[in-house]
Amino acid sequence: MLELIIFTILMALAFDFINGFHDSANAISTVVATRVLTPMQAVSMAAVGNLIGPLFFTTAIAATIGKGIIDTKTIQGLLPGDTFVVMILAALVGAIVWDLITWFFGIPVSSSHALIGGLIGAALVAVGPNVLLLDGIGKVLLFIVVSPVVGFVAAFLLALILMRVFRKSAPAKINHYFKSLQLFSAFFYSVTHGTNDAQKTMGVITILLIAGGFLTKFDVPLWVILACHISISLGTWLGGWRIVKTMAHKITQLRPYQGFCAETAGGVVLVQMAAMGVPVSTTHAIAGAIMGVGSTKNPKSVRWGLSRSIVMAWVITIPFSAVVAAGSFLVLHYFL
């Protein structure tokens, strides 16, 4: 039992590492697209931002993942301890498989929703539909739509305001000014990215510690917070360049003021969602914001065909991860 818990915690940290590797594009794509920073400078900055995020924000999202998607307390009463841990391990496998597939094809999807799908699929096979918390799942599904739309609208409006304010200024002067400002907006987004994404793994590890008897209530230990953010920071530092290329260059062409608007709007969305404890996708927020700023001058400047493909990948993330996790549970339960 102890060895299985340790192995599953290591798998959770591996998922966090892949999350940082896969979702590094969320934090650095705009600052790379506008050539404010080199790719290596950008990922280094993002890694630092991901690391310090949890030290200043709530861990409400960790609680939502740990006890708001599936009824972990009821499941622990129904399953033997080792079977419960296998269920969590299967959920992580489902999320990791989807992340690696989409990374290979350079598709920016949500690692958060992949993990949620994994938890749903593993719990369905292990116990049944009665342990699914429909309120929590419904909130996640709702914000699959809400977060990119809010990011789109906020970035669109902010860009229009800046275009109005600086309409008489020379483009070279505006670009120079916003290149400096974009350093701050990119770092701000990196902090909010780390705050949002690493919390999912914190929730998973905390319920594993409760299952093993190491904790009596859902209270994320400091070492779990630090371990998760070190893992996601290392993944971000290595960078996932396939997805960076998609986010930075293929959706639309960005100027520094547009990058500033996208990062600022996306970061504000993530801060608000973290405060509410809603596990949203950092990918959805920044992709919506990039589409928003790209639409300000001419909607045709956004490659909507690619955008539709990205949205379709968002839609199938949860069901695909759920199916892989369900199959993984059956296999792991048989052998372990």
Which residue numbers in the chain have pLDDT < 70?
A: 23-27, 53-59, 239-253, 301, 304-307
Give domain limits for the chain.
2-330
Task: Give tens-digit pLDDT for 39-85.
Answer: 777 777 777 777 776 565 666 777 788 888 999 889 988 888 899 99
Whether the Cβ atoms of residue 291 and residue 298 lie closer than 8 Å to each other = no
> What pLDDT sits at residue 239?
65
What are the E-state strand segments in the chain?
none
Q: Give the pTM.
A: 0.85
> What pLDDT sits at residue 172?
74
Closest CA to 87 of 74, 104, 103, 106: 74
At 154, list the tokens. Answer: 């906020």
> What pLDDT sits at residue 246?
61
Cα first-last separation, the chain? 10
> What pLDDT sits at residue 233?
78
> What pLDDT sits at residue 294?
81
Backbone angles phi, psi at 70, to 5 degrees: -125, 150
> What pLDDT sits at residue 120?
96
> What pLDDT sits at residue 329?
96
Alpha carbon distance 163, 144 (integer Å): 29
Task: Give tens-digit pLDDT for 5-48.
Answer: 999 999 999 998 988 777 666 667 777 777 777 777 777 777 77
- Say which residue the tokens 């999320």 belong to: 95
Backbone angles phi, psi at 123, to 5 degrees: -65, -40
